[in-house]
Structure 1
Amino acid sequence: MNQLDQLKAFTTVVADTGNFKQMAQFAPRDATTNPSLILKAVQQPDYAPLLTDTVAAHRGKPLDQIVDEVLVRFGLEILKVVPGRVSTEVDARLSFDTAATIARAHRLIALYEDAGISRERVLIKIAATWEGIQAAHALEQEGIHCNLTLLFSFCQAVACGEAGVRLISPFVGRIYDWYKKQAGAAWDEAAMAGANDPGVKSVTQIFNYYKKFGIDTEVMGASFRNVGQIVALAGCDLLTISPDLLAKLQADDTPMTRALDATAAQALPLHAVIYNEASFRYALNEDAMATEKLAEGIRLFAVDAAKLDALIQGA
């Protein structure tokens, strides 16, 4: 049995791509998108007509509305391939505006529902800023489920759990990138692999905390740099994986065992933590990696959102 099939016995596998034509071969349950992935997809000949057709159908509407139409159009195509859910992202430029994030989420859900898709099949993807977490809290109370992304720190995860968020996406690879860059020539790849990988350690800590205290929020490891990171998180609720790494898992028959265990986590000697806005901001500030990677992630998504705007305006 290949590693992808073995992984599916422990963990829900999610495709991390906007390339829905490539997705079916890996039979993921869910799929996640973001502005960068959609931007990449619409520049390919296979997907360019989706953009031009959607823009033509909604010409004359405000730009932000057309962008949402394009995002949802991709989501609808993805939902023809996956049996589960698609994550569709709110514009990263709204990451510090709770009210605007809620309004954009309402519009995305309305577009899906108008197309006959139940809100249960959609996760609204929001950056895990304090403002984003508060928006998600309000949306979850309306039955609009959220995927909190750009999550790099324990305090972000705890706040999301308190907010009743449906799912979080802690970023394994970007945490790994930061620590590797900081270490420079002193970085020892072999010593920092597997369970010792700083990104893997972060997700493991969050997973164990949630399971210990019965927090229902689903943990979905994201942003992988290598197969070893994935294998070290087998047993996590979900893992969202790029097509190239899905292909590597599919081509490898090496035996895989469960690395994360919800039952074992319940026996761990952990202490519950609660954050208010002030203590959350201070804890995030104390974590240089998380502070830097959250800010950088929002900036990068915002750049790609602006590029998507420009493509749509030129279509």
Structure 2
Amino acid sequence: MATTWLDKLEQELNIDIDWMDPDFLVQMQPTIKFHDLTSNQNFVDIQMGHPSNVELLRETAREVRDEYDASGADQTHPLWLAIYTRMAVRMCKKVVDLIQGRVLLQTSPAQAYSTEATLAHARLYDTEFARAGISRDRFCIKIPCTGPALTAAHILQQEGIQTLGTALFGVPQARAASQARCLSISPYYNDVRAHADRSFWPVVADPALQHPTSPRLIQILEMYRRLADETGQRQPLVKAASFVSKEEAMAAGELGCHSATLFNTLIEELKSLPYTDADRPGGAEAARYALPKPQSTDPADFYKDRAPPSPRLRGLLSTDPLNAADPSTPATSYETATATDYLADGGKLLDAAIAEDQVTKEWLDAALTLFIACEKRSQDKVEAVLAAL
């Protein structure tokens, strides 16, 4: 059987699925059993509205409502959010045995600038996962990369709850996620607006070399490689996300990411295409530098004995096309990033760094705006069910 683009990419990194439909996972089983299953408020909302979950949502709403009524006391969370959270975990329960690794859910984007609210929602997820019989080694909580939220992530990590720093667009956010001891980060390769409006999408023939986000991504990977070597401390795994094209997904392999988070439609496209080195962006030269992924599954081993960027990509370490004012210098120097305590004083230095970087600020705002709107749609679904009980 011919090797497909999906087969080749899985040789270079772990393929994670950004889609919660159990039928799709079963359909893909003969080809691949995905590593992690990630989600956000958009995918939770889509699946919550699926016909197969109508009765489950009704049962969950009734159950949580009755618990609230019986408690006779003020609750930490609004009723709709408590129902949403249990429902999201129950949908994870449907798919957790269909993947190899962890299921991931994201804390409320509306509370991305509140440490206490982010902590409270993450702990509620932890409680609901335990209720559903899903142990801590099978889930991870996605935390938006703001100063207050990553401050919460640091506390959660100390409590034994694994976190992923998401909505990440710049080197300071990546360093802050390392300081928070996050298990993983999810750098977005594209602005979320590019998925609905292609005017936000940079179309290039060779994304690894030419996409404007590639320099920041490889600078993050190199920072983690050096930090792991110099400090001996585990660094976050890089789970790149927000790919629009199959060529961008393949770039993640050459860049050296730990995993790529892919939509179901992109996975189907990769599965349908026979792979040859000549067809790959960058051709045979890119294929030569796209190394097989490490065999160890221990996160502490990912950066061990890792080589610096290849000669083909090494020039990306000294540029930042996303900085219109000065694209000829790195996004943030290694020395500056490693010397700054971005989580000091509740993450104020990280928020200041975000505010100073126009792209990170705009793309983070766009991501949070999108996810808040999706969360509101789910709130409306929950409240409609409650009204009908």
User: Is 2:212 the partner of 1:198?
Assistant: yes
User: Is 2:241 the partner of 1:222?
Assistant: yes
The 1:203/1:50 distance shift into structure 2, 3 A limit, reads farther
- Paired letter, 2:179: E
What residue in structure 1 maps to residue 320 of structure 2? Answer: none
* Deviation at residue 40 of structure 1 after TM alignment: 1.3
User: Is 2:327 the partner of 1:271?
Assistant: no
- Among 22, 31, 41, the alignment partner of 1:35 is 41
1:93 counterpart SS class? helix
Could you tell me how far apart the structure 2 residues matched to 1:123 and 1:88 are? 7
- Among 290, 295, 298, the alignment partner of 2:368 is 298
User: What TM-score comes out, normalization by structure 2 length?
Assistant: 0.74
The 1:48/1:173 distance shift into structure 2, 3 A limit, reads farther
Deviates more, 1:45-54 or 1:134-143: 45-54
Does the aligned pair in 2 maintain the 1:211–1:266 contact within 8 Å?
no
- Paired letter, 1:33: S
User: Is 2:226 the partner of 1:209?
Assistant: no
Identity, % of aligned positions: 25
What residue in structure 1 maps to residue 154 of structure 2? Answer: 137
What residue in structure 2 maps to residue 239 of structure 1? Answer: 260
- Paired letter, 1:250: K
* Deviation at residue 22 of structure 1 after TM alignment: 0.8
1:1-315 alignment, distance < 5 Å: 1-24=3-26, 25=28, 26-60=32-66, 61=68, 62-174=79-191, 177=194, 181=199, 189-190=203-204, 193-214=207-228, 215-234=234-253, 235-255=256-276, 257=287, 259=290, 263-265=306-308, 271-272=334-335, 273=337, 274-276=339-341, 277-315=347-385
Does the aligned pair in 2 maintain the 1:124–1:146 contact within 8 Å?
yes
Could you tell me how far apart the structure 1 residues matched to 2:375 and 2:23 are? 22
2:50 counterpart SS class? coil
Could you tell me how far apart the structure 2 residues matched to 1:266 and 1:229 are? 17
Could you tell me how far apart the structure 2 residues matched to 1:303 and 1:52 are? 22
Does the aligned pair in 1 maintain the 2:240–2:259 contact within 8 Å?
yes
1:173 counterpart SS class? coil
Does the aligned pair in 1 maintain the 2:204–2:211 contact within 8 Å?
no
Could you tell me how far apart the structure 2 residues matched to 1:97 and 1:209 are? 28
Deviations 1:59-93 (A, max 9, x none): 34422211111111111112121121011111111
Could you tell me how far apart the structure 2 residues matched to 1:266 and 1:143 are? 33
* Deviation at residue 163 of structure 1 after TM alignment: 1.5
1:125 counterpart SS class? strand
The 1:101/1:213 distance shift into structure 2, 3 A limit, reads same
The 1:105/1:278 distance shift into structure 2, 3 A limit, reads closer
- Paired letter, 2:16: V
Could you tell me how far apart the structure 1 residues matched to 2:142 and 2:56 are? 21
1:148 counterpart SS class? strand
2:65 counterpart SS class? coil
1:195 counterpart SS class? helix
Does the aligned pair in 2 maintain the 1:224–1:241 contact within 8 Å?
yes
5+ residue gaps, structure 1, are none
The 1:182/1:55 distance shift into structure 2, 3 A limit, reads closer
Size of the aligned set, in residue pairs, is: 311
Does the aligned pair in 2 maintain the 1:42–1:50 contact within 8 Å?
no
2:129 counterpart SS class? helix
* Deviation at residue 43 of structure 1 after TM alignment: 2.2
1:265 counterpart SS class? coil
Deviates more, 1:227-236 or 1:255-264: 255-264
Deviations 1:129-157 (A, max 9, x none): 00111000010011100011111111101
Deviations 1:268-306 (A, max 9, x none): 897342333454333212211110111121122111111
Could you tell me how far apart the structure 1 residues matched to 2:194 and 2:290 are? 22
The 1:91/1:278 distance shift into structure 2, 3 A limit, reads closer
Could you tell me how far apart the structure 1 residues matched to 2:348 and 2:62 are? 46
The 1:207/1:310 distance shift into structure 2, 3 A limit, reads same
The 1:176/1:71 distance shift into structure 2, 3 A limit, reads closer
* Deviation at residue 191 of structure 1 after TM alignment: 5.8
1:84 counterpart SS class? coil
Structure of greater Rg:
2
1:58 counterpart SS class? helix
Deviations 1:227-285 (A, max 9, x none): 11111111310111000111111111223635478522289897342333454333212
The 1:191/1:6 distance shift into structure 2, 3 A limit, reads closer
